[in-house]
A and B are shown apart, each in its own frame.
Chain A
Amino acid sequence: MATILKNMPERKLSRAYSLERLERRAGLMFALPVIVGFLLFVLIPMICVFLLSLYKVDLMSNTFEFKRFEYYDKMLHDPDFWKSVRNTLYYMVIYVPLTLALGLGMALILNTKMRARGLVRTFFIIPYITTYVATLVVWNVFLHPTEGPVNSLLVSLGIANPPQYMVDTDWALPMLALIGAWKDVGYHCILFLAALQGVSKDYYEASSIDGAGRFQRFKHITFPLISPTSFFLLLITIIGGLQAFYQMALLTKGGPAFSTTTMTYHIYRSAFEYYNFSYASAVGMFLFLLTLVLIAINWFGQKKWVFYQ
């Protein structure tokens, strides 16, 4: 804007000033639907959730009883809550690196010279776009403990007691994280691919003169250049991991023995199955804060590795 203003004759300058004012006014009008929608469907519900965590609410008789931080206190002393935090973090530890690494790996594959690239790319993206419930119906049968194709294969390979996946406390959560990564990785793949294709060939040519190896090249050239995309995807993946829900709701119902009850599922079950909406809201506020903290850590940590051109 400044450069335009500088080059303008004086008469037009005053017009530009008023134009700016007009634009500001129009800006508010343009943003109005979004702001109203935001207030109605995001902010007010969110504040309701916060208030709900402080009150004992009974809308059947319209009674509200102020409880201060009693529900937060209960939450902090609830072993189930801590187990759900642990499960969520465990899920994240598998899901986040796996999704990022697979996404990058698949993008690197697609970025090489090859035949049938379009077809392979489509294969990589398909799970991302397919209906989640439908893929879970498929996985449920696919991992069937006795007759499913996966375990039939394992048995025929000579493994006598293949894992029982969804009913084994050690296997269930990692499997759900795996399914989550499988489902979401297509998105990461496209974005990484877009970033890789944005890397100019000149850089590589310069480095090949230096005689850098393939890995060196990736480490010192490619990775820094795609780091803004990696950072964006990291944030998206963290949020996605924290809010993962479908697999637990449709495949394991948080079981067996609470082993797949992540925080979101704990919230859902406390609220809807056990009718502790206030407690669930307290857990929700905690999850919200946890998300903010994780995002903030990464935001400040990005200076170390994210390279903006």
Chain B
Amino acid sequence: MLMSQNVRYTIRSVIFLLIGLVFITPLLWMVSTSLKFENQVFERPFVFIHWGQINWDNYRQILTETAFPAWLWNSVFVVLISVVLRLLLSALGGYAFGFLKFRYSDTIFFFFLMTMFIPYQLTLLPQFISFRFIGLLDTHWALIIPNIVDILSIFLMRQFFLSFPKELVHAAYMEGSGIFRSFIKVALPLARTPLLTLGLLSFFMIWDQYYQPLIFLHSKEMYTIPIGLQSFQTQFGKQYALQMALACLAIIPVLGVFLALQKQFIESIVSSGLKG
């Protein structure tokens, strides 16, 4: 009885693991292909990895012969600054709309929410015009600025601060802290978990952005990874192994960040009000 339950448990786990593997087959195939030679890409029968003749040269070629390192640096720069600024503004805004409140704050916020539904392709032209006037075209700031104010992030931080215990803040007031100081000393540290989650989600989202760089940048030196990847795809047509190696390299940074922070990320979603 005990034995059979154990077996069932194991079988179930194996099945679920297989489902998980099937789910990421395209990505496994990507890794496998990135380590092959061009003529092995569509070989039959399929071999996952040719141990002994792994072709690292695809990676070498991309790291040394393309602008990948520059794209990576650009992406990291744009994403980090965007995320930090977005978190700062979202925390301030969330605290203001959710905790402090002010005259008409709910009405204004309702107005904010309505605009969440506008398709962003449309605002590209007005944004382009304004960036032209301030002279930000072809700079990374044109990619950063539209990301700073994100209604969904403010919404989520507001949700968090709506149920924030007043007693804690009032205790800080009693100790003589001003409103700003108590925000820094009491509210922010406690908001660490939702901020971390939000930061990660924003990181993934901004890392993905493709149309802003396409429209706002002229120079190839300024490219971020997604657009660099796309330009590479058209340039190298049928060189699939190379393309897959580049796709792998594009994914590694986000995957690394995710794996490093996965535990906190999932725990914080479970524990925080970020599920809406």
List A residues at the B interface (Cβ < 8 Å).
1, 4, 19, 22-31, 33-35, 37-38, 40-46, 48-49, 52, 59, 109, 112-116, 119-135, 137-139, 141-142, 144, 147-149, 152, 182, 190-191, 193-195, 197-198, 228-229, 231-232, 239, 242-243, 245-246, 249-250, 263-264, 267-268, 271, 277, 280-281, 284, 287-288, 291-292, 295
Contacts and interface: CB of A to CB of B under 8 A. Distances in A.
Given A141-B244, A142-B26, A1 B92 contact: no
B9 A113 contact: yes
A264 B230 CA distance: 20
A19 B97 contact: no
A291 B46 CA distance: 45
B122 A24 contact: no
Contacts of B246: 134, 137
Interface in B97-151: 97, 99-103, 105, 108, 112, 114-123, 125-127, 129-130, 145-146, 148-149, 151
Contacts, number: 258
B259 interface: yes
B20 A123 contact: yes
A267 B244 contact: no
B121 A45 contact: no
Q: Is the interface of A mostly helix, strand, loop or mixed?
A: helix
Contacts of B179: 22-23, 26
9 contacts: A24-B101, A24-B102, A42-B149, A43-B115, A49-B122, A59-B129, A123-B21, A141-B244, A142-B26
Given A19-B173, A191-B269, A31 B92 contact: yes
Contact of B275 (A24, A141, A191, A246): A191
Given A24-B101, A30-B100, A42-B115, A138 B44 contact: no
B13 interface: yes
Interface string B246-260: 111011001100110
A26 B258 CA distance: 36
Given A46-B118, A228-B276, A41 B27 contact: no
Interface of B: 9-10, 12-13, 16-17, 19-21, 23-24, 26-27, 29-30, 33, 41-42, 44, 46, 89-90, 92-93, 95-97, 99-103, 105, 108, 112, 114-123, 125-127, 129-130, 145-146, 148-149, 151, 154, 166-167, 170, 173, 179-180, 183, 204, 207-208, 210-211, 225-227, 229-230, 233, 240, 243-244, 246-248, 250-251, 254-255, 258-259, 262, 266, 269-270, 275-276
B93 A243 contact: no
A190 B269 contact: yes
A119 B23 CA distance: 13
B96 A139 contact: no
Given A125-B258, A264-B121, A267-B119, A141 B240 contact: yes
B50 to A, nearest CB: 16
A194 B118 CA distance: 29
B101 A27 contact: yes
Given A49-B126, A119-B17, A33 B89 contact: yes
Contacts of A48: 125-126, 129
A191 B269 CA distance: 7
Contact of A42 (B20, B151, B227, B258): B151
A46 B123 contact: yes
A49 B210 CA distance: 21
A46 B101 CA distance: 26
**Which of B24, B167, B262 is the most central at the interface, judged by chain A CB atoms within 10 Å of its CB?**
B24
Contact of B116 (A27, A59, A239, A246): A239
A288 B90 CA distance: 24
**Most chain A CB neighbours (cut-off 10 Å) among B10, B207, B210:** B210
Contacts of B99: 27
